[in-house]
Amino acid sequence: MYAYLQILLGSFLLSIVHASIPSHWLPLVAISKAEKWNDKETATVTAITGASHTISTIIIGIIVGLVGYKLSESYHFITKYVAPIILIALGLFYFFLEYRHSLIHTEHHHHHIDVVNIIQNQRSKRSIIATLSLAMFFSPCLEIEIYYFTASRLGWWGIGIVSTVYFFVTVLGMILIVHFAAKGIKKLRWHFLEHHDKLISGIVLILVGLLAFFVEL
């Protein structure tokens, strides 16, 4: 029971952080304002693009999970020790990126999706959705892929828990964040998230890695 709760908690934490990464939702807010979409249109587009992004990540994650499951049958130490160490190391690397960014970059952070180019080159809402969906589909997230390796010790149950939690929490989280951000709620301090997403991701990765390392599955 503790093993399933650990995987559930870890998946939830990583998914929450993933959904809150500004580069995932700020372009959607900018485009919705530029195109004057209503709340329903914005939520629909966010759901479509969010689902596209999570599906590609889940596909890769399942492959990683199957590899981890096969390895765990013969090399238990790989999924017990190596996977959590990779999570912690990735978290520390994010700390380094945060520190490096604070030293050499003082200008405003740019989104990895070129909002201006999309708006100028795509004339219809359908083409904008297709462009956004493709951009999100081909940018799967590394953090959750590594966690699939840890969850694979529980076989299909572990892989299924990560996939289900990741999909619904990420998509619903993106919809909620885009909704509130589009309403102009500045009290939520989006600016802090936009400039310190690597710091937050690093903290969560280290916590999840420590949890996976010390809790016996």
- Phi and psi (nearest 5°) for 190? -60, -30
Q: Kindly compute the dihedral angle of the four CA atoms of residues 16, 21, 22, 27, in this order, to the nearest 10 degrees.
A: -90
Residue 58 confidence (pLDDT): 94
- How far is it, in rounded angstroms, from Cα 145 to Cα 166? 11
Q: What is the domain count for the chain? A: 1
**Across residues 3-31, what is the average pLDDT?**
84
Asked if residue 13 lies in contact with residue 210, where contact means CB atoms within 8 angstroms, the answer is: no
What DSSP element (H or E) covers 117?
Answer: helix 115-121
**Across residues 120-146, what is the average pLDDT?**
77
- How far is it, in rounded angstroms, from Cα 27 to Cα 83? 33
Asked if residue 28 lies in contact with residue 178, where contact means CB atoms within 8 angstroms, the answer is: yes
Q: How confident is the model over 52-75, as pLDDT tens digits?
A: 989 999 999 999 888 888 877 666
- How far is it, in rounded angstroms, from Cα 12 to Cα 44? 23
| DSSP, res 38 | -
Q: Confidence class of residue 83 from pLDDT cuts 50, 70 and 90? A: confident
**Distances 38 to 33, 130, 176, 182 between C-alpha atoms, Å:** 9, 19, 14, 10
Q: CB within 8 A of 20, min separation 6: which ones? A: 173, 177, 193, 197, 200
Q: Bigger pLDDT: 73 or 206?
A: 206
Q: Which two tokens stand for residue 112?
A: 């990895």
User: Which residue do the tokens 């885009």 mark?
Assistant: 178
Print the domain residue range for 203: 2-105+114-214
Q: pTM of the full predicted structure?
A: 0.76
**Across residues 86-105, what is the average pLDDT?**
74
- How far is it, in rounded angstroms, from Cα 152 to Cα 179? 34
**Distances 145 to 11, 59, 90, 112, 178 between C-alpha atoms, Å:** 11, 10, 12, 20, 24
